[in-house]
Amino acid sequence: MALITLGINHRTAPLEIRERVAFTPERMPDAFRELQLATGASEAAILSTCNRTELYLAGDDDCGPAVLRWLAGFHQMAPADLENSIYIHRDSDAVRHVMRVAAGLDSMVLGEPQILGQLKDAYALAREHGASGSFLSRLFEHTFSVAKRVRTETAIGENPVSVAYAAVSMAHHIFSDLSRNRALLIGAGKTIELVARHLSDAGVKDFIVANRTVERAQALAEAHGGHGIVLSEIPDHLKDVDIIISSTASPLPILGKGAVERTLKKRKHRPFFMVDIAVPRDIEPEVAKLDDVYLYTVDDLRQVIEENLRSREGAAKEAENLIIAGTQDFLSQIRALDAVSTLKQYRQRAEDLRDQEVAKAVKALTNGNDPETVLRGLARGLTNKLLHEPSVQVRKASAEGRPEVAEWLRELHQLEALDPRDAPITLEKL
Q: Which residues are catalytic?
A: 50
Closest CA to 259 of 231, 280, 279: 231
Can you give the length of the chain in residues? 430
> Angle at CA 330, nearest 5°, toward 325 and 332?
95
The β-bridge relationship of strands 243-246 and 227-230 is unpaired
Closest CA to 92 of 339, 336, 332: 332
Identity of residue 275: V
Residue 154's contacts (CB-CB under 8 Å, 6 or more residues apart) are 315, 318, 319, 322
Distance CA 109, CA 151 (A): 14
The β-bridge relationship of strands 87-90 and 2-9 is antiparallel
Given a contact cutoff of 8 angstroms between Cβ atoms, the answer to whether 189 and 199 are in contact is: no
Dihedral sign of CA atoms 117, 136, 56, 74 in order: negative
Identity of residue 234: I
Given a contact cutoff of 8 angstroms between Cβ atoms, the answer to whether 254 and 187 are in contact is: no
Identity of residue 149: R
Phi, psi of 208 (to 5 degrees): -125, 130
Tally of CA atoms within 13 A in the half-sphere of 93 that contains its CB: 7
Closest CA to 108 of 396, 303, 254, 279: 303
* CA–centroid distance for 420 within its chain: 54
DSSP run (H or E) holding 253: none
Distance CA 280, CA 24 (A): 9
